[in-house]
Amino acid sequence: MTEQPQIDKLRIFISHSWQDKPLARRLEEELENAGAEVWIDHSGIRGGDDLPERISNALEWCNEFVLLWSETASKSTWVKREWMSALTLNKTIIPCTLDGTELPAILAPKARLDFRDVNHGMIVLKETLNLAVVKSLSTEKLTSVPLVQLRSQPLDDYTENDVKEMLKECNFFHYELNREGKGINHQYEIIAFKTTKVIFDKTTGLTWQQSSSDQMKLEKTFDHLQTLNQQMPSGYSDWRLPTLEEAMSLMENRVYTQVNEKFQSYINSIFTLQHSSIWTSDRASFGMIWIAHFNAGVCFDFPSNDVNDVLAVR
């Protein structure tokens, strides 16, 4: 597998007037929680006739410039110096308008975000920056549960007896080997990016792709994962194949019914699988890999030169 290139992390400079500091602080927290690095001036006092060195360095450092624009910002000498310096440095400037104050003529052509509704503005800004927007699957507040730790490191020579012990110990459902297994009480959240969606499981702390890839040989999964890691934003660039333990945690013990001429899979319908089975990272023996088959509700070893879907996890 070729070495993965370094992903350039999103680095954001927030320019604001001192009167808009409470909103700037909130924006800083939300952007950092979504995976970005943020620079914001917390001093409140900017002395000297020249742009302070720390602000100048921050402008050189950032690759996105978020401008909180308001009546007070329009009257701030330092805000003006910051956005003019950002223009000179060819930084991407995202104006966020807090009231009806007109933007300077040179910034007017730029796409602006309406922050008069702050909550909606936050969501649109994150989508613009291709950062995570968390949307709960339920209107009910997710309850606090102990984190279920699952093995993340792949194993070689993972025998059928090993699998049976794992299914029993974790109480995972398997239609043939542990039909009474109750599985995990997942608490899923959808995390929406600009172009794709992933699923965060609060119970296990794992994040999954919502939709699997099309079928491919195991040898092709390495290039597929590398491409995925390059395309996803910072903080979501460590995707990998799941272990069998992680894959089997998605199995749900449910009545096997036929819906709309299709048999129901033993996996939550929030997931979209192109086909019925996915690769895992655990090897059974030379040339044989464990897969999870969600239509049949089972797992078994499978030739690595055959094809399956990829449902990546991180």
What tokens were used for 243?
């272990």
| The predicted structure's pLDDT at residue 139 | 35
When pLDDT is cut at 50, 70 and 90, the band that residue 299 belongs to is very high
Would you say residue 190 lies in a domain? no
Alpha-carbon gap, residue 97 to 78, rounded angstroms: 17
| The predicted structure's pLDDT at residue 117 | 85
Same domain, 66 and 155: no
CA distances from 193 to 177, 233, 236, 249 (A): 38, 9, 11, 25
Residue 256 scores a pLDDT above 70: no
Same domain, 123 and 175: no
Same domain, 233 and 297: yes
Same domain, 107 and 16: yes
| The predicted structure's pLDDT at residue 43 | 55
Residue linked to tokens 């920056």: 129
**Mind listing the pLDDT tens digit for each residue in 199-223?**
988 888 899 999 999 899 999 999 9
Q: Which CATH number covers residue 51?
A: 3.40.50.10140
Same domain, 121 and 162: no
Range of the domain at 229: 149-184+211-308
Same domain, 217 and 83: no
Same domain, 286 and 250: yes
**Mind listing the pLDDT tens digit for each residue in 107-132?**
988 888 999 888 888 888 988 887 76
Count of domains for the chain: 2
**Mind listing the pLDDT tens digit for each residue in 55-81?**
899 999 999 999 999 999 999 999 999
pTM > 0.75: yes or no: no
Helix (H) or strand (E) holding 165: helix 160-170
What average pLDDT does the segment 8-37 reach? 88
Percentage above 90 pLDDT, the chain: 57
Same domain, 68 and 177: no
| The predicted structure's pLDDT at residue 154 | 96
Same domain, 89 and 230: no
Same domain, 117 and 177: no
Higher pLDDT: 255 or 19? It is 19
